[in-house]
Amino acid sequence: MTINEKSYAYGAQKSSIREIAAYGSARKAQIGAENVFDFSLGNPSIPAPESVRASIARALELPPTQLHGYTPAPGLPAAREAVAASLNRRFGTSYAAGDVYLTCGAAASLSISFHTLVNPGDEVIVIAPYFPEYRVWIETAGATCVEVMADPETFQIDVPAVAAAINERTKAIVINSPNNPVGSVYAQKNLEDLAVALHDAEKRLGTQIYLISDEPYREITYGAEVPWVPAIYDRTIVCYSYSKSLSLPGERIGWVLVPNTNPEHDHLVLAVAGAGRKLGFVCAPALFQHVVIDCVDEPTDVEAYAENRRALTEGLSALGYEFIEPQGAFYLWVKALEPDANAFFERAKALELLPVPSDSFGCPGWVRVGYCVSKETIVNSMPAWKKLAESYR
């Protein structure tokens, strides 16, 4: 092979989530959508709010070059201003438009953040189980992805384990709360302990350690408070996307925030822009930048996910499944009924149930059940879950 081997490998392997979703689509075409219970993808079933449609309609009335033209690379000033103002209202901060860099969604936010921070040879710590694409982007930026298991009881960050994994090559830690795939929300105390551990390590090693807070599920919680991470640890970068909160995953719109409290703020703002430029992100889609201006404070329809969560947890509970009670996001982390999650998945698949086995999340023995589907899918899947459980008796 004379072409780039890693690109080939990443194309040939595919993401297991995407692979299962593709199988689900094909299977639905074969036997009817109502007979396949596809829990693989984090594709919200809840429509985008009506205000998105209204915002698009309004944008279409703009003068042509303002409507679909290039925006500045970091985004329309009004959109960046709207994001900063919204954060300031919610978290008592004093961010400016210049701290916000609009991106083509969370994947871009994260890829850009890794390319902003790491140099070849660096290490980036992820809290397992974790979103598998983190590893792809971390390795592409030239760093090593170091997995640290979450606390196996609470799925909070295991701070002593993180501290033990830090060395002079550790450039950053990625956290994701509310968490995909587990649904945990990191408590204020947990994050404060992490901050102390990071500062201790920085002092001990004479290095700087960054915290990348990946927050696409911030608005989707079931009572839990999601602390504002930059208020707890200074060297934080926040990654966000409207994919989940506004149900716009296909439109690729999100942002990176370099808080003005980050001691490297001015350098990082430029490096974020440089990383975006390097990778070929010219600007975030212009039409959806206008949507951000209008819909930045639009509430997320959490009640629909809460109902799904109830239906799924009550149903699986009654069938004897064990799972982690999710505090946020829209995934249920269910214990496989045998040690090998892939074998368990194959049995589920034979019953037309499509969760995602946990191995690709860096953690054996579980499956992720995405409940951002229709409630009907959850209710109608229960006989199959029952058969699956019975097959293990």
Looking at residues 242 to 261 of the shown chain, list those that interact with a second copy (rule: CB under 8 A): 247-252
| 271 touches a second copy by CB under 8 A | yes
| 353 touches a second copy by CB under 8 A | no
Alpha-carbon distance of 23 to 132, in angstroms, equals 19
| 65 touches a second copy by CB under 8 A | yes
Rule CB under 8 A: choose which of 68, 89, 90, 189 binds a second copy.
Answer: 68
The answer to whether 151 and 128 are in contact (CB under 8 A) is no
Q: Hey, which residues between 112 and 151 contact a second copy (CB under 8 A)? A: 112, 115-119, 133, 136-137, 140-141
Considering the complex, state which of residue 74 and residue 362 has its C-beta at the smaller distance from a second copy: 74
| 105 touches a second copy by CB under 8 A | yes
Rule CB under 8 A: choose which of 163, 287, 302, 351 binds a second copy.
Answer: 287
Q: Hey, which residues between 311 and 340 contact a second copy (CB under 8 A)? A: none
In 3D, which of 218, 223, 225 has the Cα closest to residue 187? 225
How does strand 366-370 pair with strand 331-335? antiparallel
> Measured between alpha carbons, how far is residue 74 from residues 89, 163, 231, 259, 293 in Å?
22, 35, 24, 15, 14
Biggest distance spanned by C-alpha atoms of the chain: 66
Alpha-carbon distance of 364 to 340, in angstroms, equals 7
Interface characters, 167-206, with a second copy (x: CB under 8 A) = ----x-----------------------------------
| 53 touches a second copy by CB under 8 A | yes
Rule CB under 8 A: choose which of 270, 318, 343, 350 binds a second copy.
Answer: 270
Alpha-carbon distance of 289 to 100, in angstroms, equals 12
Rule CB under 8 A: choose which of 9, 33, 96, 318 binds a second copy.
Answer: 9
The number of residues that bind a second copy (CB under 8 A) is 85
Rule CB under 8 A: choose which of 20, 36, 48, 82 binds a second copy.
Answer: 48
Examine residue 383 and say whether the peptide bond preceding it is cis (omega within 30 degrees of 0). no
Considering the complex, state which of residue 230 and residue 249 has its C-beta at the smaller distance from a second copy: 249
E strands of the chain, at which residues? Answer: 37-38, 100-103, 123-128, 144-149, 170-176, 210-214, 236-241, 254-257, 323-324, 331-335, 353-354, 356-357, 366-370
Fill in the DSSP letter of residue 223.
Answer: S
| 50 touches a second copy by CB under 8 A | no
